[in-house]
Amino acid sequence: MKVLVIGGGGREHSLVWKIAQSTEVSKIFCAPGNPGISELAECIDISSDQTSLLCEFAVKEDIGLTVVGPEAPLVDGIVDLFSKHNLKVFGPDQKAAILEDSKVFSKLLLRKHGIPTADFKCFDDHNQARRYVLSREAPIVVKADGLSKGKGVFVCKTNDEAIQAIDSIMNDRVFGNAGDQVVIEECLTGEEVSLLAFTDGRTIVPMESSQDHKTVYDGDKGPNTGGMGAYSPVPIMTSELYSVVEKEILVPTVHAMNKEGRPYKGIIYIGLMITSVGPMVLEFNVRFGDPEAQVILTRMKSDIVPIMLATISGGLDNVDLEWHPQASVCVVMASGGYPGQYDNGREIKGLDSLKNQEGISVFHAGTKSENGKVVTNGGRVLNIVACGGDIKEAQKKVYEAVSKISFEGAHYRRDIADKAIK
């Protein structure tokens, strides 16, 4: 079977890496891919937002399975288009992808169906949002409604910070139309956990837990990013807690989408806060997380392709998902200045030193080939992943690996997985 993976970041590199291990796959294409992906797949010069061209390519090449990495094509309806051409595509359709496309929709869905989440109000008027903030006590959370590459959530320690967030979202339009509405909600405290699951709309198969590190600096300081690192598993996610999340959140959410006439197939990603009163939903994503995919897929023992095909066909009840007992830690190496302004074109040195090193994977994110060299081409440049017997061993291995790679201005957090070890 030929497989097409859409996207060109670290998440897509880890997906290609995992799919390449499948006995059912004869060839992998990736659009647009990156230099790391090109070692495992044929990269096609079509961007992830060119859905018509991607569909034409899939028809022409008789692609047996298409896997959509980023959220934007899903929100734009790529699954609907591919399905019209009888192509098997992994991911939710446009009606179901609203779960990530609109935080207003998802919060109202949670409230309507009694699924635990923070108290909130939604606003499409800038002045009303400001007045509401002034009537509340900080800390307070301000969220842009639409897609904002993981950067549209502001955890504000003061009312002034919250008003600045509203101004930048609704007045300055830093996220464009994604800032037409905002959600303002109470600030939950506890431990954050990312829980992903496969679902065919009837059966839910949860994956192992992971924890993302969103802010750019050590100690969870600085602005939000797309993610600076992750680890799996999360010690707080006991089997008892898994059962609670499944019963109170996962199952009710999938049922709620069915009741709303938006049946959900694909990956459902739930960002959780484990509070003193139990788990609560922070957000939904409709695809693999990035960098959560990198730590989850390096721990997945089962062949992922039959699971994806069963998700599409509605046969997940016949699937077993097995895991390696090891732990996994991912450190993101970013360009200096990210998530603000940064320079591209910096030569990356040391990549060959980590090739074929057991328990170490290097997933390219923002890279490109230039004059026979690999250079930086984005904010998040590389994902270095290490597996070990436990989190402490994996953390030690990953930072040893990171020390062997260099490029001008490289920035990374030095505390990824410290919470798990403490």
Nearest to 416 by CA among 237, 271, 236, 228: 228
Answer whether residue 242 is part of any domain.
yes
Q: Which domain holds residue 366?
A: 327-421
Domain end, chosen from 318, 343, 364, is at: 318
Answer whether residue 159 is part of any domain.
yes
User: How do residues 267-318 score in pLDDT, each as one tens digit?
Assistant: 999 999 999 999 999 999 999 999 999 999 999 999 999 999 999 999 999 9
**Co-location of 53 and 26 in the same domain:** yes
**Co-location of 73 and 150 in the same domain:** no
**Co-location of 160 and 208 in the same domain:** no
User: How do residues 101-149 score in pLDDT, each as one tens digit?
Assistant: 999 999 999 999 999 999 999 999 999 999 999 999 999 999 999 998 8
**Co-location of 141 and 230 in the same domain:** no
Q: Could you tell me if 165 and 156 are in contact, meaning their C-beta atoms sit under 8 angstroms apart?
A: yes
Distance CA 340, CA 344 (A): 13
What share of the chain in percent tops pLDDT 90? Answer: 98
What residues contact residue 4 under an 8 Å CB cut-off, 6+ apart?
28, 29, 30, 31, 54, 57, 58, 61, 63, 65, 66, 67
The CATH number assigned to the domain holding 297 equals 3.30.470.20
Count of structural domains within the chain: 4
The CATH number assigned to the domain holding 43 equals 3.40.50.20
Answer whether residue 372 is part of any domain.
yes
Domain end, chosen from 44, 73, 93, is at: 93
pTM, entire model: 0.96
Answer whether residue 195 is part of any domain.
yes
The CATH number assigned to the domain holding 359 equals 3.90.600.10
